[in-house]
Amino acid sequence: MRLHGKAFLVSGGASGLGEATVRGLVEEGGRVVIADLNQGRGAALAQELGEDVRFSPTDVTQADSVGAAVQLAVEAFGGLHGAVSCAGIGTPGKVLGKQGPHSLEAFAKVIQVNLIGTFNVLRLAAEAIARGETDDEGERGAIINTASVAAFEGQIGQVAYAASKGGVVGLTLPSARELARQGIRVVTIAPGLFDTPLMAGLPEKARISLGEQVPFPSRLGRSEEYAALVVHVFENRMINGETIRLDGALRMAPR
């Protein structure tokens, strides 16, 4: 897919990996709807980036809310060609913690945002993309999900997060197989450790120590490196139905 003039929706686009994705897509000539809970940051970013970027206050767990963001892309840009799910939360908790068993509500909340929210974006974006024209190779668009290396090596205290990201990996192939008929690809990126506001909450020492666990390059990933892969996946038609690790050969230890 050539990105110039194409329309995209980025959930979680107001911060971190999502924000870098919005910037990366706009640099390539794309037009973007930022779909995020954070109104202040989302609206400010849209304002900064100009007329090719709109903000739609969105809760990915709500059908109507994501529907309105998709609708904004269709109305403002004349259609939709791609979506990137970056909205996510990472509430820690052990199966059996000091305070007792894992809260069922906390577990359900992580699944609701990370897994069901991703599926909500996927299904409604697919509907809008499927209404578009095919290009000369029969492609209508592509949808990119964000998992995590925790889908494969979840650490102690990450049971809900790892389960939610494992679900995202699991839905990738069946979605790609089904949507092939519509000329829509589905790909998931599984980042390792990236330096985003999510990580900025940690003390500097902890961030350096996390970075040192990465074999090479021995540092936290940069959001722009994630965005560069998003751009490549949109551009490269042969990437489909796959989860791509982006982690500097990191394999997380149990704790």
Ligand X SMILES: NC(=O)c1ccc[n+]([C@@H]2O[C@H](COP(=O)([O-])OP(=O)(O)OC[C@H]3O[C@@H](n4cnc5c(N)ncnc54)[C@H](O)[C@@H]3O)[C@@H](O)[C@H]2O)c1
Which of 1, 6, 9, 11 is in the footprint of ligand X by CB under 6 A? 11
Report in angstroms how near the CB of residue 12 gets to ligand X at its nearest.
Answer: 3
Which of 142, 193, 214, 233 is in the footprint of ligand X by CB under 6 A? 193
Beta bridge partners of 187: 144
Report in angstroms how near the CB of residue 218 gets to ligand X at its nearest.
Answer: 15
Q: Is 211 in the site for ligand X (CB under 6 A)?
A: no
Of residues 36 and 139, the one with the C-beta less far from ligand X: 36
CB contact set of 147 (below 8 Å; sequence gap of 6+): 165, 166, 168, 169, 188, 189, 190, 243
Which residue carries 């909205």 as its tokens? 87
Three-state SS at 131: coil
Interface region with ligand X, contact rule CB under 6 A, candidates 52-60, 128-136, 176-184, 233-241: 52-60
How far, in Å, CA of 198 to CA of 221, rounded?
A: 13
Token pair belonging to 117:
């929210």
Cα 231 to Cα 48, 51, 108, 214, distances in angstroms: 21, 20, 32, 24
Which of 76, 173, 199, 228 is in the footprint of ligand X by CB under 6 A? 199
Of residues 12 and 141, the one with the C-beta less far from ligand X: 12
Q: Which residues bind ligand X (CB under 6 A)?
A: 11-12, 14-18, 36-38, 58-61, 86-90, 113, 117, 146, 148, 191, 193-194, 196-199
